[in-house]
Amino acid sequence: MKEIPNNKFLKAKTKQFIYLLLIATVVIVSILLTFFFFPSKSPEKGSLLLKKIYYVDNISKAHQKLIDRFNEIYKEQIQVIPIDIPFEKFSTNERKELLTRFLRSKSERIDVIAVDQIWVPRFAKWTVPLEKYLKDSTKNNLLNYALTSCYHNDTLYASPFYLDISLMFYREDLLKKTKNFNSLMSKLENSITWEDFIKISELDLPYFLFQADDYEGLTCIFIEMLESLSFEFIRNGKIVLNASEPKRALELLVNLVNKYKVSPKEVSSFMENDSYNSFITNNRIFLRGWPGFKKEYKGLLMERGIYEAVKFIPNPHFMGGRRVSIFGGWNLMISKFSQNKNESAIFIEFASSIEAQKILFEEGGFLPINNNLYNNPELINSNPEMKFFSELISKGVHRPYLENYTRISDIVSQNLSKAIKGDITVDEALINSEKKINSEIGLIK
């Protein structure tokens, strides 16, 4: 007898399809509007060689300042026109799907794209190798931690744009109200163990926010925990998750919400921006996040009078485990369908320069990928947190660079989030993930 599809499942799939269609429509309209606002005109004298580069990214104020500076330097030669896909409206996964659709269409309307560093293997087939476009002097100035993410099959397909690394923010003003503030801070500043973190009995519960929605951010947290436990979850071309270390990691995430009440239940629907807003508006004490949070939300933090009170420390780690933080960050790639590859490469080289990287860091809190900035006395004196970031980077770990990584992450995050919500057990989440990945993808290379 033919199985009748579940109504709820069909509705969810239909809703997802309509949502993706709407997103694609919004971006297509944005591109069309961009062309209307920057129409092709008969070239004026002195601008006969002007090339327009269309660059897709989350365009923050720092990004726009960098673009404006580039356009000023290359006036009447190259003009970069940004196409904004903001984080507050599009999740990382949604951005990935949008870019995939555009590149599959072989459109010439996009020249430079910003990609999560873990997407490079997936997007390599639609982009051009950069070895012949980037100068050796440029490559030699790039941070190795960031440059590692730009290769696929030993070929350079991307150039690092900025680095991210996970950390924990806290409200110093609220912590100072505790009796054992000094001893607690000593533990926190050296990466407190998860076991001690859940025993901070003086704090009002819940006090810790993290991101547990079904998306890449949750996978990042989980992989970081596995790295802390020195667990290799890819073995002989297969995913291994039904083991004691993954169980220990997921049990902690589930128990933070459901047993210890350290985190509120709403974290199961949180992505970064949701958790950031809740941290500010609900006076939470701890927040897992990324370095750019303070500068991105400076206005709201200042409005509430807590900007100076928000500090950062390393993430907790397991007792007996390594102290690690997982890398994030974004790279720039050139579409193979672009008609302006040389001009796009000039923009990418500028984006990694000292001037551009300083703009990104000072205006937006984006960690530099240019080595010279970590040895710049002027920058370090005006930004003492550079020393902290350097130490955190030295303990950074990468997600695995696999062509199928994004699909693996989708499966894992879906099951992890269900377990944290209480819809399935820890064992079910891990067994389901392992079974589906290995049956669907086969050998992992």
How many whole angstroms separate alpha carbon 232 and alpha carbon 219? 15
Q: Where are the domains of the chain?
A: 57-165+327-397, 167-326+402-441
Instruction: Give me the half-sphere count of Cα atoms (radius 13 Å) on the Cβ side of residue 406.
Output: 17
The CATH code of the domain at 167-326+402-441 is 3.40.190.10
The angle at the Cα of 277, spanning 272 to 278, to the nearest 5 degrees, equals: 100
CB atoms within 10 A of CB 85: 21
The angle at the Cα of 290, spanning 270 to 92, to the nearest 5 degrees, equals: 55
The per-residue pLDDT string of the chain (445 residues; one tens digit each, 9 = 90 and over) reads 433 444 443 444 444 444 445 445 545 545 444 443 334 343 444 455 899 999 999 999 999 999 999 999 999 999 999 999 998 888 888 899 999 999 999 989 999 999 999 999 999 999 999 999 999 989 999 999 999 999 999 999 999 999 999 999 999 999 999 989 999 999 999 999 999 999 997 888 899 999 999 999 999 999 999 999 999 999 999 999 999 999 999 999 999 999 999 999 999 999 999 999 999 999 999 999 999 999 999 999 999 999 999 999 999 999 999 999 999 999 999 999 999 999 999 999 999 999 999 999 999 999 999 999 998 888 888 888 899 999 999 999 999 988 889 999 999 999 999 999 999 999 999 999 999 999 998 777 6
The stretches of 126-193 forming alpha helices (DSSP H) are: 136-140, 144-147, 172-175, 181-189
Instruction: Assess whether the region 57-165+327-397 and the region 167-326+402-441 belong to the same CATH fold.
Output: yes
Say which DSSP state 238 is in.
E
Helix (H) or strand (E) holding 65: helix 61-73
- Which architecture does CATH list for 57-165+327-397? 3-Layer(aba) Sandwich (3.40)
Do residues 354 and 372 make contact, with C-beta atoms less than 8 angstroms apart?
yes
Residues whose CB is less than 8 angstroms from the CB of residue 433 and which lie 6 or more positions away in sequence, other chains included: 239, 241, 411, 412, 415, 416
Please give the model's pTM, rounded to 2 decimal places. Answer: 0.86
Q: Which residues of 279-312 are buried (b: 16+ CB within 10 A; e: fewer)?
A: bbeeebbbbbbbbbbbbbbeeebeeeebeeebbb
